[in-house]
Amino acid sequence: MKINYEKLLEAFGVVEGEAFLLSNNVCKDKCKFEGGKLLWFDKYFNGWEESSMRINRLLSLKLEKLPWKPKDGETVWWICACGECVYSFIFNFRERVLKEMKEVIDG
């Protein structure tokens, strides 16, 4: 049986490459649809693996969307507290930046 990949993404309310959590009320796995396949994040090997889960099992699980997080290099807009000023900046979340910020904060 051939599965309509676009309809599957639509049914789950996700876009290709968007990570989400799948839960069976006991554990949660980080997953995403990519390249026509369901991938799950293997915490031990720190990488994405192809899932062998069948569609009927997939439909029996609860999908939980992850909070939105900008990607490196993506333009992000910020509105000040008064609501009158809008600023844009390029999101940059690299380890080097975090290390430098920690050094400044720690003194």
With 0-12 / 13-18 / 19 or more C-beta atoms within 10 angstroms meaning exposed / middle / buried, residue 36 is exposed
Q: Flag whether the pTM goes above 0.75.
A: no
Please say whether the beta carbons of 32 and 39 come within 8 A. Answer: yes
pLDDT tens for residues 10-48? 888 999 999 999 998 888 899 999 988 899 999 888 899
pLDDT tens for residues 38-58? 999 998 888 999 998 887 888
Please say whether the beta carbons of 92 and 71 come within 8 A. Answer: no
